[in-house]
Structure 1
């Protein structure tokens, strides 16, 4: 298993990178800690536990992880955060990543590493399918991403590992991991999906996770083509004193949606993919579209030498409304 984990690090170019590992004390993160300790050595990794203060046991759990790290010779830090009221899981996630991102910088690590695994990926894919998500959502949990709310690189090396395999790593070490009761609390969507998957013999979580990885590849291809589309088919609008843009929109819808979002961002605004998609549909039908204070007007332009007609959409700041 150590060689396999090392191969996962090498696949993403992180085999010789200093790792900042988030360890909650649960079986998944403990397995990550143990694998990284054996594959990289104690001096090449640091661990941190976030104490959200949401359960009476949280401080003791952080101390439990600190003791395991001491035994392994791995540096450990406990990060205490305050979670705002409201959506507890979402707010806890935001607070956790903010604290971990700052700590990752302080210890001069190359990447922040978390223990998301294949079963998590399968659950995420099912949840997002049920919400009607597009390709970015169906791509699931990314192998690499930006640390939410902070910046820097977030790396998830265990997305090809099952929870069963990680449990066996911890069991072999004779460590009894922490069990978070929220993981089985069916008032949370993920816990309900987790229970559903466990009850379905015909559903293979590993296969679902593999599908999410294929979708991640597809999404990265769309991002690449959208970047090319922005560079080659979006130009300043000379009729608008350079404040607006002309978009020669002749690419598939999924790519154009990303380019529209880039145009809106360049104009100092922000828009969602769903709003950009609605704008694309209106423009494709030859109708004006308004989003985030930007007016988009459809048109065409004929290339004289070839006679080919191209769609050209003009984006500019929406004029003030008359009162």
Structure 2
């Protein structure tokens, strides 16, 4: 093994240990999401060498392209050669015609991967998001006028506790699993170099360069703008994430201290004197609690959903619906409750 590859493995090990707050290699099982692209194949090889005997991997076959089965089999062969247990996870139900295909694929992929990792008693699920992905995500969200949570972009670490606060499923609430992105300080080119150095195969997903998708357009724009440093954009996203965590904790405290008496599965708050940014977090927490408790509407709501029109309505003393939640304002008192089901015609 040459010195350059040794350095890459040591760097990966150090980045991973820093994320989990450890000063030595962990003893827990590490689950990897490996698509077969160069980024995830590099992560596979680096993790297997940095933490031998601790790594398992899975590939999700979305069934959207004829080549997906072959790509999953390629990952399985590579894992067998380096001694990493591997599973192929298949999405059984196709997307609905109204679904955004990329959004549907992401939600289905994470659901399968989390379940697989928890069933395998893994403490951590790693994805191969890197600095270029972070920059693309930040710019995409900035172009959509995202707020603080959106500009935090891809989080390096999402713990089970945080997932519970932000609407994790009942299963996830009782089975701890940390999501880690140990490559967020790595560039795409570095990861290709690492995969090649380890002799690992990979495939390039053609959708990554398909101009029909926003991410592909931003990726092309960044490639044509070498004066923009994705690493610096990533640091900005990290700064946003740190502020977002602080404001969230303050808002969670206010969500509890400003709560008024309300029937079961409803919430009422006095928002007098609170800035809009804090009201935003309180409203999301209230919607989250009602959606989670009802078992309805999970597919149409996530903690990062845009609620600006709802806030506009409440601050004007009106009402609005978000997912399955009806919110209304009477003076400074905001009331959140489950909206009645729509009548079918």
Which residue of structure 2 lines up, in the alignment, with residue 91 of structure 1? 104
> What is the CA–CA distance in structure 2 between the aligned matches of 1:166 and 1:118, rounded to whole Å?
11
Where structure 1 has 5 or more consecutive residues not aligned to the other structure, the ranges are 283-287, 299-311
Q: Distance in 2 between matches of 1:180 and 1:316?
A: 43
1:142 matched residue in structure 2: 155
Decide whether the 8 Å contact of 1:247 with 1:313 is kept in 2: yes
Q: What are the residue-to-residue correspondences of 1:14-53 with 2, within 5 Å?
A: 15-16=25-26, 17-41=28-52, 43-53=53-63
Structure 2 CA distance for partners of 1:50 and 1:297, relative to 1, 3 Å? same
More deviation, 265-274/208-217: 265-274
Give the match for residue 221 of structure 1.
246
Q: Is the 8 A contact 2:138 2:233 kept in 1?
A: yes
Alignment CA distance shift 1:316-1:54 (3 Å): closer
Give per-residue Cα distances to partners, 1:25-81, cap 9 Å, x unaligned: 11100111111112111x211011111222222222111111111111110111122
1:235 aligns with 2:242: no
In structure 2, C-alpha distance between the alignment counterparts of 1:197 and 1:273, rounded to whole Å: 29
Higher relative contact order (CA 8 A, sep 6+): 2
RMSD, matched Cα:
2.9
| Aligned position for 2:3 | none
Contact 2:314/2:334 (<8 A) preserved: no
Structure 1 length normalisation: TM-score? 0.83
Please tell me whether residue 199 in structure 1 is matched to residue 221 in structure 2: no
Please state if 1:106 is matched with 2:119.
yes
Alpha-carbon shift at residue 244 of structure 1 (Å): 5.8
Mark the structure with the bigger radius of gyration: 1
TM-score by length of 2: 0.78
Shift of 1:129: 0.9
Aligned to 1:13: 20
Structure 1 match to 2:90: 80
Contact 1:253 1:280 in 2 (8 A): no
Q: Is the 8 A contact 1:128 1:137 kept in 2?
A: yes
Distance 1:203 1:103 in 2: 38
- Report the counterpart of residue 129 of structure 1 in structure 2: 142
User: What is the distance in 2 between the residues matched to 1:143 and 1:178?
Assistant: 25
Deviations 1:77-133 (A, max 9, x none): 111223324332222222222221221122111121110111001001111111111
Deviation at residue 153 of structure 1 after TM alignment: 3.0
Q: Residue 308 of structure 2 aligns with which residue? A: 274
Distance 1:260 1:295, change over 3 A: same
Note if 1:294 corresponds to 2:323. no
- After TM superposition, the structure 1 stretch with the greater mean CA deviation from structure 2, 46-55 or 142-151, is 142-151
CA distance in 1, matches of 2:266, 2:215: 45
Q: How many residues align?
A: 299
